[in-house]
Structure 1
């Protein structure tokens, strides 16, 4: 859903990207620093119960996920390696965010919600894997109910609202994410299945 705002975000990130280029900062360094910072915040602040603070910091750090790409484009340093690194570290970052949430639920004596958060984590990872695996086979996967940006926004919103005292906000967030994950995986599998069936039919006709 949030993919439509990528153009706007690209324009907003152009000034800081140009500054980083002038300072000699490369896209790979931005990717690594952003991931390490996000993992540290997610695995320290969230389990400690600093939820709204973590939500704000994580939201700011997450902009580096687009900033590295903007730096790469403006500096002419886009590469398959950069895309691979970014995608791989995205999985690490997502895992850290939801692991922090799982730990917070577990420490608070809420094992059921910890389990739901774990389901949201697994389904989110599968959502990304299905897209990557399909594209490696030459199929196209687009859209879906909850892409990565949507999942992070919901998770951060849940942390923020829970942190300022809204009861069950994080529980609702992980439940929505788990359900959205099931639907999104189903949508993407259906897309791939249709393309596979079309290829098989084409081969038969030939």
Structure 2
């Protein structure tokens, strides 16, 4: 959902970094894996231990690696099928680790069971949003768009944990509750998009071929 202008501005920062790394022989897949391992390790180490602000900062640094590997692919002039699958898989792993760690905090030192339910909803719905798109594309259908995609989910969640770590009251509860509702809504949007895409394909298939 992040607009094109925002992506262009981000690319202005990441593209020079991507070109520099490619020029020094670093492969995009290596950056993808390092970013994922760092995100998982930081999330599962810091957040459940109630080190929310530090954890947010470290996780954010490693999450940004996902922008850099894309910049590296652009610098090379092409990506690879394996790289695309690896990137998508690592995104799911990283997202799962972040929201699992937040859930762990909620049910552990945070002692907020209802908030833990919201975090679990965010975890499951976020995975579903990505799965629906991948499954639809595999079937030749479209499921783009939605209220909150991966970037928005991570921004809202990490802003919530970071502010909570700084002592801002209600920051994390508001972030998780809003995100849970928005993520479920996005699942519905994706399913509706797939339905409409399927209807359009069926309609096109039913149209008689033009005569000579």
TM-score > 0.5 by shorter chain: yes
Tell me the CA shift for residue 159 of structure 1.
0.6
Structure 2 match to 1:49: 50
Candidates 169, 172, 184, aligned match of 1:170: 172
Q: CA deviation at 1:3?
A: 4.5
Q: Structure 2: how far apart are the matches of 1:143 and 1:8?
A: 20
What secondary structure is seen at the aligned counterpart in 2 of 1:2? coil
Q: CA deviation at 1:22?
A: 2.4
Quote the offset at 1:200 in angstroms: 1.9
For structure 1, the residue ranges without an aligned partner over 5 or more in a row are none
The yes-or-no answer on 1:62 pairing with 2:63 is yes
Mapped partners of 1:83, 1:55: distance in 2: 26
Q: Distance in 2 between matches of 1:205 and 1:13?
A: 46
- Distance in 1 (CA, whole Å) between partners of 2:157 and 2:62 is 14
Structure 2 gap ranges (5+): none
Partner of 1:79: 80
Alignment of 1:34-183 (within 5 A): 34-107=35-108, 108-183=110-185
Please, what TM-score do these two structures have when normalized by structure 2? 0.92
Aligned-partner Cα distance in 2 for 1:76–1:18: 11
TM superposition shift of 1:55: 1.4
Q: What does the per-residue CA deviation read over 1:150-169, in whole Å, with 9 as the maximum and x for residues that have no partner?
A: 00000010011101111221
Question: Given that residues 38 and 93 in structure 1 are in contact (C-alpha distance below 8 angstroms), is that contact kept between their aligned partners in structure 2?
Answer: yes
Cα shift at 1:77: 4.7
Q: Secondary structure at the match of 1:184?
A: helix
Q: How many residues align?
A: 206
What CA distance in whole angstroms lies between the structure 2 residues aligned with 1:96 and 1:196? 33
Q: CA deviation at 1:141?
A: 2.2
Q: Give me the TM-score of the superposition, normalised by structure 1.
A: 0.95
Runs of 4+ with >4 A deviation: none
Task: Tell which structure's C-alpha radius of gyration is larger.
Answer: 2
